Chain A
Amino acid sequence: MTDLTAPPTRKAAPAAGTTPGTSQGPPSVRPRPGRIAPLPTAALLLGALYCLLPVAWVLVASTKSGTELFSTFTFLPGSGLGDNLADLGAYREGVYWRWMANSAFYAGFGAVLSTAVSAVSGYALAVYRFRGREAVFNVLLTGVLMPPVILAIPQYLLVAKAGMADTYLSVLLPLVLSPYGVYLGRIYAAAAIPMELVEAGRMDGAGEWRIFLRIAVPMMSPGLVTIFLFQFVAIWNNFLLPYIMLGDDEKFPMTVGLYTLLAQGAATPALYTLVITGAMLAVVPLIALFLVIQRFWSLDLLSGAVKS
């Protein structure tokens, strides 16, 4: 009951450096730049326009009904958003939501697995010295240069040989090892983890796994968040791999599913309004993910910085 007697306003002061931002002292106030460099700004604005215009088109087009889609002015919002959403939800008893859930599963689970593999391998390649380390790394670098598209069919034949064609695993497994993720993992681990720290851990009797999980992973986390996001977006947008792997439309991710709405044979028109509305909804989870994870990004960049 001693704490009752203590003044409620007093708390133990946090140790220096444990709260993000405090070890650096108060942020220095920079002078406002007097003028804007016109050329780079214009280039950036142009780039932003280039990226945002298609998104704006999808947003506007998804509000148009079938009759408005090709007849009204391109960026004039239409009146059909509610109908489009209802039609999309009703299409083949709501199969779109199933595709959305499949996409979330492939992207979420796949990205977590791939991040874990990238973290372990990147750490191993950065911290341990072993024979053939550079060879392994160089092979991985070649993998980075190899477009995943040309691997899809060989991967299918392999997966089929293992009896796993047309299963959830057939899409997940080829994505777990991401050469680019491992590459990023190694670069980040090499930059963020000082060898002294690892050796200090060994001196104190920690096992290698413990050092990795307790010391390395927290220090690598901004890099891991990057890998996770990168993989999530890559899998979310992936088309060819699931297209080749899956025959069952109940297991399709959204990309492949929406494609079946576009290509229904010459005799049947493409369901443009549904596809556009579906594409619009498909962007929403990505934006939400970025908004949520952005916090971890900036926080970790502060707390993970290492001084030499």
Chain B
Amino acid sequence: MPHALRRRISAIATATAVVLGASALTGCGTSGDGGEAASGPVSLTYWAWAPGMDKVAALWNDKHGKEAGITVTVKKQASGDDLVTKIITAAKAHQAPDLVQAEYQALPTLVSNDALADISAEAGDARKAFAPGVWQQVTLGTDAVYALPQDSGPMMFYYRADLFTQYGLKVPTTWDEFAATARALKKKAPDKALTTFSANDSGLFAGLAQQAGARWWTTEGEKWKVGIDDAATRKVADFWGGLVAEGAVDNQPMYTPAWNKALNTGKQIAWVSAVWAPGTLTTAAPATKGKWAMAPLPQWTNGTNSTGSWGGSTTAVTTDSTHKAAAVRFATWLNTDPEALAALVRESGVYPAAIAAQSGGALAQPPAFFANQPDFYTRAAAIARTTAPAAWGPNVNVAYTAFKDEFGKAAKAKSGFGTALTAMRNATVADLKKQGFEVAP
């Protein structure tokens, strides 16, 4: 049910996304924070989906919040594109909450719908707490700041250490080796596959393209330039399309019961994923505890060090908030204060975006599922530093839906991904034009 609805909701989102004329770049934050109360208790609402966020907010309410007279109430939401639609709809009616949790790739969409306030004046100093590649995603390359990074999802390569030994496989350091490994496994155990290409997970494909150096949305003057079929992305699409076509990797989607089973029973022995994979594996493949290991993502050229990101989110203040300064104060505490970050790791299981919190402290121990790899988070922090910059545009949701449709068909037919990529680009460009944005050829 949620899937069918999700599609419907995003269709509505496109229909209702009225263009406000300005592009994300020119839409500057002149929004009124006139009702700023200088004193008196302030009550803020915060839409978030991370589990346990209410407990982290309670920590604030009991101490700093009490001193500053700022109380934060968390209203738990379901994550995903639907929530972006919901926030935009609420913003249209001027009913949006003060604070929202938003994924990095959703920020341009929210900004172009005038839902997020520019907090550069209040939160500009937070810049130094984050890696430049992460910070760039909340500024959208402008002087404005539209959100504070909360968690990040640097991508990594996960593999079944025991089965790799059993089949005599080496951990691939380049994508060529990755393909060779997939073929070698198919030869030795035809009923197994190294991994699968999931046409359901647009974020994974976007992360892989990001690693290869793709820039999906850039600006040229006042025009958007869509690079979804640029050379880097094409390289990634052809690589995976080829592996699927020759049957070296599976073509079934991830996050399905069948996929869980394939991981749990060792039918698939590796997973290209992100830093949060241990949590997913804990529920998807409980029988394989302690048998996995993590390595950096394979590289396109020998000797380089680069990764993409999959997932990760931010805390943003809405234009509807009448207590902008108070909201920014809480958001800054939540995402930079050591105590708050430790609570986020403990209660919400996030991998913090703040560099200082990525090693030691709450992340000194490896995740329980990876107890066999004691330096898990030390290595993860090193990988996180190599995250390539990402370039998001105002209709990521449309591109993602097009990816699911087109790549889904192509993966099923095992026909290569070239046409699918062109179709995905064309759908994205057509939607931008329909929304009234100017698109550079």
A→B interface (CB under 8 Å)? 66-67, 69-71, 92, 149-150, 152-153, 156-157, 160-161, 165-166, 239-240, 243-244, 247-250, 256, 259-260, 262-272
Contact = CB atoms under 8 A, between A and B. Distances in A.
Interface in B1-49: 1-2, 5, 8-9, 12, 16, 45, 47, 49
B2 A267 contact: no
Nearest to A154: B16
Contact of A263 (B2, B257, B284): B2
Contacts of A270: 255, 283
Contact of B261 (A70, A153, A166, A267): A70
Contact of A269 (B77, B97, B265, B280): B280
B203 A263 contact: no
Contacts of A239: 1, 5
Interface residues of B, number: 55
Given A66-B283, A150-B12, A249-B77, A165 B95 contact: yes
A204 B78 CA distance: 60
A11 to B, nearest CB: 56
Contacts of B255: 270
22 contacts: A67-B286, A71-B261, A149-B8, A153-B89, A166-B95, A240-B9, A243-B9, A244-B86, A260-B49, A260-B76, A260-B78, A263-B78, A264-B50, A265-B49, A266-B79, A266-B153, A266-B310, A267-B151, A267-B274, A267-B276, A268-B349, A269-B283
B390 to A, nearest CB: 15
A160 B94 CA distance: 8
B250 interface: no
A166 B313 CA distance: 25
Contacts of B348: 268
A94 B336 CA distance: 32
Given A165-B90, A259-B2, A266 B311 contact: yes
B279 A267 contact: yes
A165 B78 CA distance: 18
Contacts of A71: 261, 264-265, 287
A272 B93 CA distance: 34
B154 to A, nearest CB: 12
Nearest to A265: B79
Contacts of B349: 267-268
Nearest to B311: A266
Nearest to B263: A70
Nearest to B92: A157
B80 interface: yes
B75 A267 contact: no
A70 B50 CA distance: 25
A215 B151 CA distance: 65
A264 B287 contact: no
B374 to A, nearest CB: 22
